[in-house]
Amino acid sequence: MQPRKAADASDDEPRPEGGAQEPGAGPHTPPDHLAGSTLSTSEAALSDRVSGDEPLLPARVHRPSDLMRLLIGVLAVVVLFAVAAFAHGTTAGLEQDINKGTGQAPDLLIKIAGLVSSIAVLLVPVAFAIERLIKRDGLRIADGVLAAVLAHGVTLATDLWVAHSAPGTIQDALTQPQPGDALTDPVHGYLAPVIAYMTAVGMARRPRWRVVLWVVLLLDAFAMLVGGYTTPFSIVLTVLIGWTVAYGTLYAVGSPNVRPTGQHLMAGLRHVGFRPVTAMRAEDAPDSGDQNDRGRRYMVSLEDGPPLDVTVVDREQQAQGFFYRVWRRLTLRGITQRRSIQSLRQALEQEALLAYAAIAAGANAPKLIATSELGPDAVMLVYEHIGGRSLDALEDSEITDDLVRGAWRQVRALQSRRIAHRRLTGDAILVDRSGKVFVTDLRGGEIAAGDLVLRMDIAQLLTTTGLRVGPERAVAAALAVLGPDAVADCLPLLQPIALSRSTRAQLRRLARERSQREREAVLDASDAAKRARTQEAEHPDDAGRKTARKSQRTEKQAEKRAIDDALDGAREEDLLSRIRQEVLLIRPQAPVEPVRLERIKPRTLFSFIAGAIAAYFLISQVTEADFGAVVEEAEWGWVAAALGFSALSYIAAAMSLLGFVPERVPFGRTVLAQVAGSFVKIVAPAAVGGVALNTRFLQRAGVRPGLAVASVGASQLFGLGCHILLLAAFGYLTGTEKTPSSLTPSRTVIAGLLTVAVLVLVVTAIPFLRKFVVTRVRSLFAGVVPRMLDVVQRPQKLLTGIGGMLLLTGLFVMCLDASVRAFSGPDTPHLSYASIAVVFLAGNALGSAAPTPGGMGAVEGALTLGLIAVGLPKEVAAPAVLLYRLLTLWLPVLPGWLCFNHLTRKGEL
C-alpha cells in the first residue's frame, strides 16, 4: 500500500455537503456505539488527525439494494394482477373464507379497532417526524414526504385504471360492492402513502417505532376487511405500492450517506484498545470491476508500536457489484459460492476466517489482530502493517522468476488446506521491501473449496503472471512449484469465463491490439504492392511493357499472396493459447477441452424472452382469428406457388454468394449449403449462423480462410446496400401510389430520410461515435474492399452476385404476396408489390438484428403489424404471416438438417 501524505485535522474538517457523517451529527461525532466512550481532550485531538486529502464522501448515494427492492416490488405487483386476472375462482373463494371467518367478530370490537387505527395511523408518522426534526434529521422526513406524495399519485392512477380499463376479474378481486352500485377503492388512498413514508424515512431501523406503526396498520386493515370496505388483494396491493414507491424514490433521489469517516475510524480504534496518532488513506487500486467492493484502506500510526493497516467496509461498498454477482451466480455452474447479498456481520466473519485460515495453512498473509463495528452501517478489520507494492505496481524489470515462484508458493500453501483465493489478480499479490510475497484481499475466498474452484485459482494466476512476464516464464514458475500434473489439470478451465473481470478486460484489450496490428499489416502490404505497380507503370522499359500487358492477372495474384503473407506474419496467438502450448510441451496428453461452466448463456436468455413475447403476440392474434373458416376458404394454388418461390430462393442465395467468390466453387454444393443454412439459423441468430456456415463452406471448398471471410463479407456488404436501396425505392413508390398523377413521395418517406440524415450528422459530429464508425469501416476496407475490387474486374461474377440478391429479395416478396393471396377473400383489399416489399424488407431487417434464432418473434411481429398498417385485415395478416414463416423457416428445417449432415460427412462443412 502506498499511503498518502498526512495533514492536520484542520485541512480535513468534514463539510455538511460532503455527507461524511450522520445528519445532525457534529463534525467529529463518533458513531452511535462509540458515543459513550470516554476520551480526554488530548486524545480527542489526536483522533482528529486524519489524512487531509481524503476524498469527501457524497451527500447521497444510490443503493443497488434499493433498486433491487424496487424491481422485486414491481414484479410482485405484476404477479398479483396476474393472479387476480387468471385465478378468479381462487380469489373469490379466499374472500368468502375470510368474510366467513371474520363475520363472527363483535361489532363493538370492530368499531373500536377502526376508530383507534384511523387516528393512530396518522398520529404515529407525525410523532416520528417531530422526533426526527428535534434530532435535526429533517432530510429523511423530506424523503418520506416525497415518497408519500408519489405513492398517493400512483394510488389514484391505479384506482382510475381498475375502475375504467382493467378486466372484470381484477376489478372483482380488488373491490367490494357498496350500496348504490358503488365500489370500494382498489387501493387505500391514505394507507399506501403512510407505508411509503414509513419505508422511506427508515423506520425499519428503529424497532420500537416500527412495531407500533405495523400494529396500527394491521389493525386498520383488519377493521376495514371485517367491515367489508376492502378485499385481501386490495390490502396486499396497497402494501406493495407503498413499499415499491418508497424504494423507487430512495433510489432516484439517493439515500443520506452515513458512511463512517476517518474521524469515526480513529474513535473506533481507541474503542478497541489502540492509541492512534494519524490515519492516512491508502492509494485507491486501479478501477476494476471485481475489486470495487474491497473497502477503504488506511495506514494508521500508533503512539507506540508498529503501524496498522485498517480496512473499512460499509454497506455501500459491499453492495457494489451486486448485479454482476447475481448474474454470475445464475449463469455459472459450480463457481460462485459467495452469497449475492451478505450482511456486514457475514462479510466480517468471512474475511476474518479466511485471514486466520491462510496463516494457519502457512501462507504469507496479513495478520488480522482486531475487528469491530463502526456503527450499524460499517465494520473495520485491523491488520499488521506490510510495507510494499502490489504486482500491478511493479515494473516489468522488477518481476523476477523468484518473485513469480514466491506467488506460486502462496497458492500451494493455500491449496494444501483447500483454501481458494478467488481473486488472484495483480493487486492481490503484495511484495514487501525484502522481496517477500504476500497474498491479500482474501475477502472473496472459500474454505473447504472444491477441485473446480482450486483449479480456477491456478488458471487465474497463470493468466495474471502471463500478462506480466509472458507465458513461458509464467508456466515455468508454476511447474517448478506445483508440478506438471496440477498445472495440466487447470487447462480445461483456462477460458475467459473462468477469469476475473479485470483479467478478461485485459485480454479483450490485447485482442483488439492484435487485430489492429493485423489490419495495419494488411494495409501496408496492399499499399506497398500498389506503389510497386505504380512505379513499374510510370517507368517501364520495352520488356516491361510486354510483361505488363501479359501479366496483369499475375500481378493481382502476387498482391493477394503478399497480403496473405503479411497477414500470416502479423497473426499472433492469444495469451491463453500460448499458455496451453507451453503446458502441452510438458504434458502432451493433458486435457485441453474447455469445461462447460455456463449454465445459461445471454443469447439463450434473450431468445427465451423474445420467444415468450412472440408466443404471446401470436397467440393473441391467433385466438382472435377463425382459422377453421380461413383454412376452408384458402386457395391452395397460391399456397403451392408460395412453396415454389420459397424453394427457388435457395438457388438465388447460392448465386448471391458465388458472385463474390472469384475461385471456382461447385454450384450444386453451394445450393445444398444454403439449404443447410435453414437448419443452422434455427440454432443461431439469423445474422450469425449463415455467415459462419458460408465461411466454413468456402474454406472447405479450397478458398483461403482470409479470402473466404472477405467473400462472405463482400456479399453481406452488397446485400446491405441493396437492402437499403430497395427499401428506399419501394418506400418512395408506396408513397406515390395514393397520388398517381404526382411523383411526390409521402411525408413518412421524407421524415425517414431526414431522420437518417440527422443520425449521420450526429455520428459525424460526436468524436466517440465517429471514431467507432471509422474503426469499423477501416477494418472492413482492410479485407472486404480488396475482394470487391477483384470481383468488379469480372463483370460476369458481379452480375451473378447482384442478380442473385435482387432475385432473392423478389422471390421472398412473391412468397409473402402468395401467402397473402392464399387467404384473401373477394372483399380483401389488394396490396401492391411495393407495399408488400416494404413490409418484407422492414421485417427482414428486424429479424437480422434480433438476437433470436431465425429472428423468431421479431419477424412475425414486424410482418403482421406491417401488413395491418398497409391495410390488410388482421384476420388475413396473421395466417398469411404464419404460412410465410412456415414455408421459409420451419418447413426447410428437415431438408436443411439432411443437407447439413450430408455435407459434414463429405468433409465440406
Tens digits of residue pLDDT in 461-510? 999 999 999 999 999 999 999 999 999 999 998 988 888 888 998 998 99
Q: What is the pLDDT of residues 99-114, one digit of tens each?
A: 555 555 556 555 666 6
Rounded Cα distance between 16 and 27, Å, is 8
Contact of 433 with 315, CB cutoff 8 Å? no
Higher pLDDT, 798 or 275: 275
Higher local confidence (pLDDT), 333 or 71: 71
pLDDT of 478? 95
| Residue percentage of the chain with pLDDT more than 90 | 15
Reply yes or no on whether the pLDDT at 747 is more than 60. Answer: no
Per-residue model confidence (pLDDT) at position 536: 62
DSSP 890: I
pLDDT of residue 603: 57
pLDDT tens digits, one per residue of 194-236? 888 888 887 656 667 667 777 777 777 777 777 667 788 888 8
Report the distance separating Cα 528 and Cα 531, nearest Å. 5
| Residue 809 Cα distances to 802, 815, 838, angstroms | 11, 10, 11
The pTM score is: 0.59
Q: What value does the mean pLDDT of the chain take?
A: 75
Question: Between the ranges 501-515, 616-630, 719-733, where is the mean pLDDT highest?
Answer: 501-515
Q: Which residue has the higher pLDDT, 837 or 615?
A: 837
Query: pLDDT at residue 802 above 80?
Result: yes
Cβ neighbours of residue 42 closer than 8 Å, sequence gap 6 or more: none
pLDDT tens digits for range 387-432: 889 999 999 889 999 999 999 999 999 999 999 998 899 989 999 9
Q: Assess whether pLDDT exceeds 80 at residue 686.
A: no
Contact predicate 241/154, CB 8 Å: yes
Q: Are 554 and 505 in contact (CB under 8 A)?
A: no
- pLDDT at 583 (0 to 100): 92
**3-6: long-range contacts at Cβ-Cβ below 8 A with a sequence spacing of 24 or more?**
3/51, 3/280, 3/281, 3/282, 3/283, 3/299, 4/51, 4/53, 4/54, 4/280, 4/281, 4/282, 4/283, 5/51, 5/52, 5/53, 5/280, 6/49, 6/50, 6/51, 6/52, 6/278, 6/280
Residue 74: CB atoms within 10 A of its CB come to: 14
pLDDT of residue 186: 82
Cell numbers given for 792 = 468488379
**pLDDT tens-place string over residues 272-298:** 889 998 888 876 544 444 545 567 888
Q: Are 246 and 200 in contact (CB under 8 A)?
A: yes
Helix axes 705-736, 833-849, angle to 10 degrees: 140
Residue bearing cell 498473509: 365
- Residue 874 pLDDT > 50: yes
How large a percentage of the chain has pLDDT more than 70?
A: 65
What is the pLDDT at residue 39? 35
pLDDT confidence tier of residue 700, bands split at 50, 70 and 90? confident
Which tops the pLDDT comparison, 723 or 292?
723
Dump the DSSP string for 407-440.
HHHHHHHHHHTT-B-S--SGGGEEEETTS-EEE-
Instruction: Please tell me which of 71-85, 521-535, 711-725 the model is most confident about, judged by mean pLDDT.
Output: 71-85
Does the pLDDT of residue 383 top 90, yes or no? yes
- Whether the pLDDT of residue 617 is over 80: the answer is no
pLDDT in tens, 809-849: 889 999 998 988 888 877 777 788 888 888 888 877 766 66
Instruction: Provide the pLDDT confidence category of residue 443 given band limits of 50, 70 and 90.
Output: confident
- pLDDT over 50 at 321, yes or no: yes
**Residue with more model confidence, 311 or 526:** 311
For 154-192, what is each residue's pLDDT tens digit?
A: 988 888 888 877 777 788 778 877 766 677 778 877 788
Interatomic CA distance for residues 879 and 877, integer angstroms:
6
What is the per-residue pLDDT across 644-675, written as a single tens digit (0 to 9) for each?
Answer: 999 999 999 999 888 888 778 888 889 998 88
pLDDT at 782 over 50: yes
